[in-house]
Chain A
Amino acid sequence: MPNMSKYKVKMPQQHPDVRNKNFKEVALGYTKEQAMEEATRCLDCKNPKCVEGCPVNVPIPQFITAIKDGKFEEAYKIITSQNSLPAICGRVCPQESQCEGKCVRGIKGEPVAIGRLERFAADMSMDIPHEKIVDETRNHKVAVVGSGPAGLTCAGELAKLGYSVTIFEALHEAGGVLMYGIPEFRLPKDLVAKEISKIEDLGVKIETNVIVGKSITIDELFEEGYRAIFVGSGAGLPKFMNIPGENLNGVYSANEFLTRNNLMKAYDPENNPTPIYVGESVAVVGGGNVAMDAARTAKRLGAEHVYIVYRRSEEEMPARLEEIEHAKEEGIEFNLLTNPTRIIGEDGWVKAMECIKMELGPPDSSGRRRPVEIKDSEFILDVDTVIIAIGQSPNPLIKDTTEGLDTHDWGGIIVNEETMKTSKEGVYAGGDAVTGAATVILAMGAGKKAAHAIDDYLKTLD
């Protein structure tokens, strides 16, 4: 008999008043007993909807059954047959809108905690190497641009298919947004490093400090003998609001703030010289996961007040519900239906931010109700730091140096969505470079799809 409890087995967590002062992981993970108990909630559906909701097609009921039976290594192998980065996905995937969103148990009560179980299985068996899909090695070399979730997945999949793969990474460390963007307290960097080393164990080479488009171009990569190229260069161009005062000292893009803290480890000044500035009161503009990450980071760095300033209401916030809840628990203050109009400075530093109240009008092109300014409702928010987290555009370095690579007006690389093939022969692309800022798992799904399309393409060259 399945366990018919309406609720997920609770995830052990650090207490909010403790965790908002440290950078250790918030969620502590299931014990064996907790995982096995939660696994009994799965109905092992004949026609599992959850798998349809997974961009990389993890055989979810099968791995959960293995956990239920205490076969943790088997569960891990089932997951990694389709997903090369399970410890990461188990932590940062928006399961509520993917696998768990489709779970039949979610109709009456909470869905099965698929994400927590994935994380459990991954954490238990991180030392088991990935298995190759084919035994033979193939002659063709493939280049992958960017070592974020799209690039790592694509590279790992191609290596499993027998190809010789080199990833080119612009920064000094591999991982992309997993390293520079998502904070330690949501995704420990040791764990990301471990997942990357397992991809390297498959034979994937990673060359850091190579900025494709600057150090070498796509055409030069072909000249060097790479027969196919996957571009997963991410959404590395922060948007600003174009309001007065944005260049004052104390105004950051979320990218800069998070990179200083995560990649350059500014939270640990004992061992890392990169400085970061957080005043007493911080305003974070935006309502996505990046905004939540920035706000919770600012709090941990010692800011007394941290405000989320978002122009729509909580319902429209693109951030995951879990992240919004965690932020609230940690004392982040929400100023909703509020839009900044200017940043006010004193001696060149941020002193305050003027905002205006908004109300929701009819839906706009995104289907969400359009926020409209309420006349004469301006007010002053006393802050000394402003972090702008209103999104990123794809980085233009590759598009500007690659002839024949078609892009949208807003910078995204145009692809055939079935194959991730671009307008340029042999070049494939995926992740935020194609979609604009989206999720880790969508990037991984695109990387995986592209890997198989590249495999098909390279077979035609034999």
Chain B
Amino acid sequence: MYKILEVKQLNSLVKSMVIEAPYVARRCEPGQFVIIRSHENGERIPLTIADYDRDKKTITIVYQELGFSTKLLSTKGVGDYLEDVAGPLGVPAPLEKQERVLGIGGGVGIAPLYPQVKKLAELGVEVYTILGGRTAELVIMEDNFKEYSDVIVATDDGSKGIKGTVVDAMKEIIDEKKFDKIIAIGPVPMMKAVVEVAKEKDIPTTVSLNPIMIDGTGMCGGCRVTVGGETKFACVDGPDFDGFLVDFDELSRRQGMYKDIEKKYDKTHSCKIGLGD
């Protein structure tokens, strides 16, 4: 059992939790993920680690309440325990000392970008980050990023920072400054759009993928993605990949495999345990 030490509501949909997870906290690196189950008989939910503290033996996860299982997770508070936390899984993000790197995070994808930016800053890299969301409220963790990077905020409705998408902001800044690398984490359409622009300028771009998976150790093969024409398992070969090579359309389609089944499930079960909207 894994104790919840802190819960923060980052916006109306997104929460962060600090969890005691000694095995994970001891070895995890930026880019790696955990699989959690909030309750017995719950789903196994993969979540990229948003922060960790080796001394306190804790990790931070950030999640968005989307369906039944994440709503169920939200019924747990400080002092409660998660049923399972397994990890760290996946390979660490390929981070190295470079001159200047641009991080781009969209929505809840901002969270897993954070440990990568932090690590790069510690390596002495000059980091810029673009954080994006539909509206100001959805842009999370801005203050955390400011500690380690120059932050640009982009909102679709202009309620904060630049009015436009992260791609609009990206186009501007890559014209002004030379970047050795881009790290983009967010919804699939965002990562795809970032990669298209980055390709034009030939700036190497890594993306972090979150396909459907069960075990996270290579056993089920559900998370297969096509990268450079080859099938890879995101859980053991990733989750970070060279964005230029990822088949985003396939990824997007595979992520939607259970949409219909899940919608039905949410409806019939959420009310049963008092999770109704």
| Chain A residues in the interface with B (C-beta under 8 A) | 170-172, 180, 208-211, 214-216, 236-238, 240, 242, 246-247, 249-250, 252-253, 255-256, 259-260, 264-265, 269, 271-275, 277, 348, 395-397
Minimal Cβ-Cβ distance residue in A for B24: A215
B86, A247: Cβ atoms closer than 8 Å: no
| Among listed B5-13, B39-47, B134-142, B144-152, interface-contacting one | B39-47
CB distance from A241 to the nearest CB of B (A): 11
Q: Please give me the 4 A-B residue pairs with the lowest Cβ-Cβ distance, nearest first.
A: A256-B220, A236-B219, A209-B86, A215-B23
Residues of A within 8 A of B225 (CB): 247
In the assembly, what is the distance between CA of A142 and CA of B87, in Å?
Answer: 22
Residues of B within 8 A of A348 (CB): 250, 253
| Among listed B117-125, B172-180, B186-194, B257-265, interface-contacting one | B257-265
Question: Which of B88, B220, B250 is A214 in contact with, Cβ under 8 Å?
Answer: B88
Interface contacts beyond A211-B87, A215-B23: sample of 4 additional A-B pairs, CB < 8 Å, sorted by A:
A237-B218, A249-B257, A252-B222, A397-B217
Residues of B within 8 A of A259 (CB): 214-215, 219-220
With A170-B217, A237-B218, A253-B220 known as contacts, the answer to whether A216 contacts B83 (CB < 8 A) is: no
CB distance from A386 to the nearest CB of B (A): 13
A/B interface sample: 19 pairs, CB < 8 A:
A172-B37, A209-B86, A211-B86, A211-B87, A214-B27, A214-B89, A238-B220, A240-B224, A246-B231, A247-B224, A252-B222, A264-B44, A269-B265, A273-B68, A273-B265, A273-B269, A274-B43, A275-B262, A348-B253
In the assembly, what is the distance between CA of A249 and CA of B211, in Å?
Answer: 12
In the assembly, what is the distance between CA of A180 and CA of B84, in Å?
Answer: 17
B214, A264: Cβ atoms closer than 8 Å: yes
CB distance from B235 to the nearest CB of A (A): 10
Minimal Cβ-Cβ distance residue in B for A170: B217
In the assembly, what is the distance between CA of A209 and CA of B35, in Å?
Answer: 9
Residues of B within 8 A of A253 (CB): 220-222
Minimal Cβ-Cβ distance residue in A for B83: A172
Minimal Cβ-Cβ distance residue in B for A210: B23
Give the residue among A171, A240, A246, A259 with the most B Cβ atoms within 10 A.
A171
B218, A396: Cβ atoms closer than 8 Å: yes
A395, B219: Cβ atoms closer than 8 Å: yes
In the assembly, what is the distance between CA of A204 and CA of B27, in Å?
Answer: 26
Interface string of B175-209 (1 = CB under 8 A from A): 00000000000000000000000000000000000
Residues of A within 8 A of B14 (CB): none
Minimal Cβ-Cβ distance residue in A for B251: A247
Residues of B within 8 A of A264 (CB): 43-44, 214
Residues of B within 8 A of A271 (CB): 41
B212-246 residues at the A interface, CB under 8 angstroms:
214-222, 224-226, 231, 236
CB distance from A231 to the nearest CB of B (A): 14
Question: Which of B218, B253, B258 is A395 in contact with, Cβ under 8 Å?
Answer: B218
In the assembly, what is the distance between CA of A395 and CA of B44, in Å?
Answer: 20
B84-133 residues at the A interface, CB under 8 angstroms:
84-89
CB distance from B4 to the nearest CB of A (A): 16
Minimal Cβ-Cβ distance residue in A for B257: A249
CB distance from A235 to the nearest CB of B (A): 9
A172, B217: Cβ atoms closer than 8 Å: no
Interface string of B15-46 (1 = CB under 8 A from A): 00000000110010000000001000111100
In the assembly, what is the distance between CA of A210 and CA of B35, in Å?
Answer: 11
